[in-house]
Structure 1
Amino acid sequence: MGKEIGKMYTEVHQFEPTLPSDRLWAELHPIAENIVVASVKLTGKAHSTTRTAIRELVRQMNSYYSNRIEGQSTHPINIAKALEDKFSQRPDEARLQRIAIAHIGAEQALEAAMGDRPPLMSDFLIEAHREMYGRLASADRLSDDGLEIVPGQLRTRDDAVGDHVAPTAASLTRFLSRMDQQYGPARGWEQTLIAAACAHHRGAWVHPFLDGNGRATRLQTHCALWKLSEGLWSPSRGFARDTSRYYAALKAADAARQGDYDGRGNLSEKGFSAWIHYFLSICQDQVGYMTKMLDLDGVRQRIEALIIQRGVADKAYRREAILPLFHVFALGPVTRGEFSQMTGLGERTARTLIAKLLQDGLLLADHRVGPVRMGLPLDALNTLFPALYPEVSQPME
């Protein structure tokens, strides 16, 4: 590892508190309740097919942001190309594309396999690691030390990450069992949000794997909140928008107890509280942002702005597309004949318009004559969902 490891953690009392005190629960509960209420309302906005398109977009975004936190991101356009099995001729870039695709596949598989399983259990964290790294060839899953990361394998050697000395390898199962006791039981959504915040930090603190702990922890957090978020918002976006703040908040919760007014555990209650408040603020910000983006009045205005912008350079784009596009966003798929009727255009002109929208991805269809639904192509995002995924418009290197 290149440095001597100091005093190791061996006993589970050494990472207490693992849950907030009663006083802190009371302080956090109203914040969590606001997030839950807003998130439940959010899942009723837009049509289910539109929400599916948003969900798949957020999945790509999760991959980009989680890998960016690790310093291994590729451009969003390269992720989209990789989803079409188009990989760069540059080996380093192709490797980053494969890592991005592995994250997307792992997230999908974990959601599908979750069922009624409690996702905050340690076996789910291990499965998240296995799903992520099991999708990569051995050459693509080397640690910074050049060692192969074995999917789902708990580390067998002692380790330190920056200033944090992780629990001994021999004690890992004890720490993970304690996490299961604290975070595994079923709870209401407010309590689950808070428990997810706690598990996110303490899971990273335990550092159960040789490498890939951050990715596995973020996948677990995503799944813990997935039935609430329906995949429409993601903490990873908030973490990655200010990575230094994310790491600083994690580090603050690593701190040892600072005297008699800092809780009763071995670790700092103040640092732990700051982390949980940070986590909830990220969730609140992400839910609030997406709620604003799915406000239908705003959606209509942004669709109008997009069509007008594109019409300046391409006469195939016509203002008559605005109303039917808004319709499929809010109310779901229509037949091509219905879309054509809503434009008010002649049959040939409407057919040309529909073909253009399909070609550019603003409309999607499962087959050549089937109904059309809303699409969210990357090159339209900065108008349709400003600041959701701003990296898509940055130049590729």
Structure 2
Amino acid sequence: MTTDQWLIPPLPDSIPPSILSKADVLVTKTAFLAGLLAPETAACLSRQLKISDADYSRIIDGHNTDLEVLEDATNLASTQSTLGEITELRRRLIAALAHHYHLVQTQPLADGNGAMARLVVHMHFAQIGLHPQLWSLSRGIARRQEKYHAALGINDVTQERQFAGAFQRSEQASLSFIELMLDVCHEEVDYMTTALSRHQLRKSVAHAYRINSRLTDAGVSPETMPALLALLIQGSLPRTEFVTFTGLPPEIASDQLNRLINLGIVMSPPFNFQRLEVGLPAWFAQVLLPDCHLA
């Protein structure tokens, strides 16, 4: 791929108000989502979503993307792909999605450009401050893959594409793709915001304590639920505070804590035995995000 292909294409002369409005609102929504999560919880979630994106890419592209392709793309994108002179936040967001369209249109998808283009958008979104590590664009595209492929002019992701005349694609086609992607982004941010709200977290954790075999087989007591919920929300707690939250006698509470640590839901940092941090193994992340491929 040539360096020129990494340049952001010019934005359309006239962007519909509906697209500008969706871009504006998305900025607000992602900031709200980030505010829901403590740094420790956000870091755990980010690791799980990064792993899940590989599964979603296989669904979207119909094949595994060569890791070397993604590594090369990451290295080049980190030095070449910038949003240039665009200063207005919502237009930077729109430009990032236009860049995705441009990248897929200029190279065969079979060579890995689908996953690569999504990776570049992720990097753009991070630069803009949309916290893309806390929600999955790939999940949203996988749920709308037929519309995604149609918007890109791809009828069969297993067939090699012909790109003659790709640069003559209409401005309207690019805008239609951008609007679709904005809808996808909104759906995914809304999904994560709902799933990680205090109300839904409480319901999900309570449900897990009732039916999850890992918890019951490990002998985890329902009395530990308030303490675990507090840890999920706050990200970390003093060990003594966690024990107090359980309402159990100290010895029993310590035993229960060890059971949660053995399950990986609670972490005890080796450098600070007196403090606990949240853990998010794939099976427990699936409890909180049941519609995600996290296991």
Q: Hey, what does 2:287 align to over in structure 1? A: 383
Deviation at 1:269, TM superposition (A): 2.8
Pair 1:298–1:60, CA change in 2 (3 A): same
Q: Hey, what does 2:160 align to over in structure 1? A: none
Deviations, residues 131-168 of structure 1 (Å, cap 9, x unaligned):
xxxxxxxxxxxxxxxxxxxxxxxxxxxxxxxxxxxxxx
Q: Hey, what does 1:47 align to over in structure 2? A: 38
User: What TM-score, normalized by structure 1, do the two folds share?
Assistant: 0.62
Deviation at 1:378, TM superposition (A): 1.5
Q: Is the 8 A contact 1:50 1:330 kept in 2?
A: yes
Structure 2: unaligned runs, 5 residues or longer: 155-162
Letter of the aligned partner of 1:204 in structure 2? V
Q: Is the 8 A contact 1:303 1:322 kept in 2?
A: yes
Deviation at 1:286, TM superposition (A): 0.9
**Bigger Cα displacement from structure 2, 341-350 vs 289-298:** 341-350
Q: Is the 8 A contact 1:125 1:217 kept in 2?
A: no
Q: Hey, what does 2:84 align to over in structure 1? A: 184
Q: Hey, what does 2:264 align to over in structure 1? A: 361
Aligned equivalents of 1:321 and 1:54: distance in 2?
A: 22
Letter of the aligned partner of 1:233 in structure 2? W
Aligned equivalents of 2:291 and 2:115: distance in 1?
A: 23
Deviation at 1:255, TM superposition (A): 10
Bigger Rg, which one:
1
Q: Hey, what does 1:27 align to over in structure 2? A: 18
Aligned match for 1:237, one of 139, 143, 158: 139
Deviations, residues 189-215 of structure 1 (Å, cap 9, x unaligned):
211221111110111111189922222
Aligned equivalents of 2:222 and 2:209: distance in 1?
A: 6
Q: Is the 8 A contact 1:340 1:350 kept in 2?
A: yes
Give the helix-richer structure, 1 or 2: 2
**Bigger Cα displacement from structure 2, 218-227 vs 268-277:** 268-277
Letter of the aligned partner of 1:64 in structure 2? D
1:222 aligns with 2:122: yes
Deviation at 1:383, TM superposition (A): 2.4
Deviation at 1:256, TM superposition (A): 7.2
User: What TM-score, normalized by structure 2, do the two folds share?
Assistant: 0.81
Aligned equivalents of 2:69 and 2:290: distance in 1?
A: 27
Deviation at 1:277, TM superposition (A): 1.0
**Bigger Cα displacement from structure 2, 364-373 vs 56-65:** 364-373
SS state at 2:269 partner? coil
Structure 1: unaligned runs, 5 residues or longer: 1-11, 74-95, 114-122, 129-179, 258-264, 393-397
1:206 aligns with 2:106: yes
Q: Hey, what does 1:175 align to over in structure 2? A: none
Deviation at 1:48, TM superposition (A): 1.3
Aligned match for 2:170, one of 268, 273, 297: 268
Number of aligned positions between the proteins: 276
Q: Provide the aligned C-alpha RMSD in A.
A: 3.3
Pair 1:211–1:303, CA change in 2 (3 A): same
1:59 aligns with 2:50: yes
Deviation at 1:230, TM superposition (A): 4.9
Deviation at 1:370, TM superposition (A): 4.8
Q: Is the 8 A contact 1:65 1:237 kept in 2?
A: yes
Letter of the aligned partner of 2:139 in structure 1? R
Q: Is the 8 A contact 1:303 1:384 kept in 2?
A: yes
1:36 aligns with 2:27: yes
Pair 1:209–1:63, CA change in 2 (3 A): closer
Letter of the aligned partner of 1:322 in structure 2? M
Pair 1:375–1:65, CA change in 2 (3 A): same
1:1-397 counterparts in 2 under 5 A? 18-22=10-14, 24-72=15-63, 106=71, 123-124=76-77, 183-207=83-107, 211-226=111-126, 227-251=129-153, 266-310=168-212, 313-314=216-217, 316-367=219-270, 369-389=273-293, 392=295
Pair 1:125–1:344, CA change in 2 (3 A): closer
Letter of the aligned partner of 1:330 in structure 2? I
